Amino acid sequence: MDRWLGDGGMPVIGALGGAFAAYGSDEDGWVSGTWVPTELACNPRGVVQAGVHAVLHDGAMNFAVNAGLPGRDRARATLEMKSELLRVVSAGDRLVIRGAVTRQAKLVAYAEARISDTEGRLVSRATATFLLQRAE
């Protein structure tokens, strides 16, 4: 999992200004990181649009699911995802990303992601369901 620190194994996350810095699996998996949106993340008016938030949400939740799985088990696919934007974000804003597993079953895992500003105000959030591939 250490090799995924930084861009989470997805170069687009790094190109958009995101970086995962820590992860764990206390009971279920989690990941945390930072995001300073680049110009690439913005529309012509300098605002980060919903789809870009969704890429960061999906990456954080996928990383969290994989961090919480034992052995060679892995997340195979995102089955569904819902995201909400609550505040405007622009290039250069400093943000914090957190992804966490909320429940894990045999075939699927449920996760959530939150992006907040440095003052702790929620900027966007998402929930998703992931299909799991078990090694057994």
Task: Tell me the pLDDT tens digit for each residue of 12-64.
Answer: 899 999 999 999 987 789 999 999 999 999 999 999 999 999 999 999 999 99
How many angstroms separate the CA atoms of 118 and 11, rounded? 24
Tell me the backbone φ, ψ of residue 118, rounded to 5 degrees: -70, -10
List, in order, residues 6 or more apart from 25 with CB less than 8 Å away. 67, 68
Is 135 strand, coil or helix? coil
pLDDT tens-digit profile of 35-48?
999 999 999 999 99
pLDDT in tens, 80-123: 999 999 999 999 999 999 999 999 999 999 999 999 999 999 99
- Encoded tokens for 28: 């279920």
Query: In angstroms, how far is the first alpha carbon of the chain from the final one?
Result: 20
**Which structural domains are found in the chain, ordered by start?**
2-133 (3.10.129.10)
Q: What's the whole-number mean pLDDT along residues 74-79? A: 94
Does the pLDDT value for residue 4 go beyond 60? no
Structural contact between residues 9 and 67, judged by C-beta atoms closer than 8 angstroms: no
